[in-house]
Chain A
């Protein structure tokens, strides 16, 4: 017993002595769970095809990633953060305050957000206005400036062209970046279709946001968790329900679910790339310039990520559902990244 105790104490001490975390020989990436599937693919190929270690990628969410990234410089802070939206001015200020001066922005491509249902169910031809009316907490009445609690229970009440099916939408919870993007791109897009609401934006921005960004809580919108696979499983069990998730999940499950048309465009690779499909968002990552020379492999990792075979039109990231940039934008992003040009908002 005595021996056992001394042994385990010894083990504990050895373990503790190893903790001196000076120098790090792998790249540390944090940030958005939407960019995670793309970032990890590049990291894995980078690790397998070079003599550098495979970068470590944490999925912390865009906001959480920014906080970690902007905490300062040094090996105990991450080198790169992924983001499913552009960095906010406040976040960049926070970075600068903590001594993170050089930040390089890399736009990697686009991601579409789809509204889908079971493959054998009705075809939906939605507009952003329909989505807003069906899902907002309060909707405008015919009279200007008047809002009522959302009275719609079936899709054909929203728009007579839509099927007479109960409104039931499974989507991500408020903590998700997909939800933020859906609200901003689809709901706000439909909300702006009402001229008087659009006018309030200039007068009272917070009121405008409340009207456009608040999703109804009476059970028509079901928060189905962050797991998109779960939403797809639920759609198969419930053919009347619609689900909201990222394009890559539609791409992978095209035999189980189908995407609804939004504003006349079907969620397809080409329509999202051309911008015709309205609910798509840019994906970024941000690089800490001070770390490029400190951490081994940074320059090479950036070169791999921005290479034609990764981010290009037929790159391996497109196989994972990333919508690539057009040629001009791609060339600009590539030079900006490799020359480490500072981000300017």
Chain B
């Protein structure tokens, strides 16, 4: 048997191995995509109802006697007026057969607890409404919302159903007369957290995340880039610098909860910074993103060919000039990509923020980095833990918003890389 025969004999086996490897590779990619699709469809199907809001249309009589205010009243007086009265009267008008106390309570719960504030805010904005009759679309209660969206099955026997026959009857009457409408849920993007699912919004968490990331970026980007430039371009090669390098790499692998404990001990307990504030959250997260950005920046700087530096130096530029005029601009796309990926990580981080009090119920929209606030992933966590069924869809919707931001940030990173990347 000569060599050619040996090769020919083994050929079949070698081809088979290659095919096997290819199929396994394909299979693993298919599995990964399947899982991703499964996750996304699950989130998406659960989330879509959250973007639709059910409203109940009622004609309310804003007469002066009932409210105790008139068109000349100041804001303080309007604030303290009882706006439940006109709404309740409108409901009773629609269903005059309801007389018993318990039934009335049920009837009043057709509209959201937020309806009175909705009406109050309208009147504050335009006091001329007092004394007139207005047809207004009020937010429906979460139970009504669930019936309309089909989350509560109308066909179940009464004993197994959260919405009892009386209430279901009223809902169906309103539906038949066209007084129940649905529309896009703008409120979800305009309000802070709430304990009523229909009133809960994501704006507070989005702004909280934004403030936190701003602090993170402002702190970690300059520090990390400066550190990377120094280590790559200026630092002498000695043991001490090696030691620092190893530690930066180690820091990147430290579990994030440790940074939270550090934040609690140092910033809150020692420097008495406010709890639950984006400023502390931002500082803690910047500790976490620093090593990521340093490592990305260093490899970007390293990738700039030495000929560029040498040319600058040869033409009489100082070391400083060669770095800032030539190396850094060339490395910037890589540095920015690393920064954005670091920021995206920080956006999805929850654990360190648990320790510094950002797991909190915050209704008011934060106005600055020192106001108490929460962030998107924590909002997901809080809603997932709420007993009201309506929060199930809100949870998924919040996850969608979070994923949207993550994808957007990663897309920007890819775009920057593609646009500015140079081939040497």
Residues of A within 8 A of B (CB): 1-2, 5, 8-9, 11-12, 15-16, 18-19, 21, 24, 26, 28, 30, 33, 36-37, 39-41, 43-45, 47-51, 53-54, 56-60, 76, 119, 226-229, 246, 248-249, 251-255, 314, 316, 319-321
Contacts and interface: CB of A to CB of B under 8 A. Distances in A.
Contact of A15 (B272, B362, B369): B369
Interface stretch (B31-39, B156-164, B248-256): B156-164
Max chain A C-beta neighbours (<10 A), residue from B79, B332, B387? B387
B161 A255 contact: yes
B387 A21 contact: no
Interface in B383-406: 384-389, 392
A254 B328 contact: no
B231 interface: no
Given A15-B218, A76-B272, A255 B370 contact: no
A51 B79 contact: yes
B285 to A, nearest CB: 13
B217 A44 contact: no
Contacts of A51: 76, 79
A57 B272 contact: no
A21 B370 contact: yes
Given A246-B387, A252-B389, A255-B156, A21 B361 contact: no
B296 interface: no
B387 A252 contact: yes
A115 to B, nearest CB: 17
Contacts of A248: 387
A304 to B, nearest CB: 13
Given A21-B274, A37-B195, A59-B359, 12 more contacts: A1-B332, A5-B222, A19-B274, A37-B387, A39-B361, A44-B361, A47-B363, A56-B372, A59-B382, A227-B384, A228-B385, A253-B389
B279 A15 contact: yes
B329 interface: yes
A44 B369 contact: no
A242 to B, nearest CB: 19
A56 B361 contact: yes
Interface string B160-202: 1110000000000000000000000000000000111000000
Contact of B357 (A12, A36, A58): A58
B318 interface: no
Contacts of B55: none
Contacts of B230: none
Nearest to A246: B387
Contacts of A12: 215, 218-219, 222
B361 A43 contact: yes
Nearest to B194: A44
A16 B359 CA distance: 22
A1 B329 contact: yes
Contacts of A246: 387
Interface in B324-380: 324, 328-329, 332, 357, 359-364, 368-370, 372
A321 B386 CA distance: 12
B103 to A, nearest CB: 13
Contacts of B222: 5, 8-9, 12
12 contacts: A8-B217, A11-B214, A15-B369, A18-B279, A26-B364, A28-B275, A48-B114, A54-B363, A226-B385, A227-B384, A229-B387, A320-B387
Nearest to A39: B361
A87 B162 CA distance: 36
B113 interface: yes
Contacts, number: 133
B105 interface: yes
Which of A40, A56, A226, A228: most chain B CB closer than 10 A?
A56
B152 interface: yes
Nearest to A12: B218
A229 B392 contact: yes
Contact of A57 (B152, B226, B361, B387): B361
B363 A119 contact: no
B176 to A, nearest CB: 24
Contact of A19 (B195, B225, B273): B273
A119 B153 CA distance: 15
A16 B361 CA distance: 25
A321 B195 CA distance: 13
A321 B387 contact: yes
B82 to A, nearest CB: 10
Given A40-B195, A44-B194, A56-B361, A11 B272 contact: no
Contacts of A59: 359-361, 382
B259 interface: no
B370 A252 contact: no
Contact of A255 (B162, B221, B329, B332): B162
A53 B329 CA distance: 47
Given A37-B386, A228-B387, A21 B363 contact: no
Contact of B218 (A11, A19, A43): A11
A1 B324 CA distance: 8
Contacts of B268: 76
Given A18-B370, A227-B385, A255-B162, A56 B362 contact: yes
A11 B214 CA distance: 9
Contacts of B328: 1
A28 to B, nearest CB: 7
B276 interface: yes
B360 A18 contact: no
Q: Most B CB atoms within 10 A — which of A21, A30, A50?
A: A21
A229 B369 CA distance: 33
Contacts of A320: 195, 387
Given A229-B384, A314-B105, A58 B369 contact: no
Contacts of A40: 195, 361
A60 B275 CA distance: 13
B117 interface: yes
B195 A53 contact: no
Contacts of B105: 314
A44 B361 CA distance: 9
Contacts of B387: 37, 228-229, 246, 248-249, 251-252, 320-321
Contacts of A11: 214, 218
A19 B279 contact: yes
Nearest to A227: B385
Given A1-B328, A44-B195, A18 B361 contact: no
Nearest to B372: A56
A276 B153 CA distance: 32
A54 B364 contact: yes
Given A15-B218, A19-B273, A51-B79, A36 B162 contact: no
Contacts of B386: 37, 229
B151 to A, nearest CB: 10
Q: 5 nearest interchain CB pairs? A: A54-B363, A57-B361, A58-B360, A11-B218, A40-B361
B195 to A, nearest CB: 5
B199 to A, nearest CB: 8
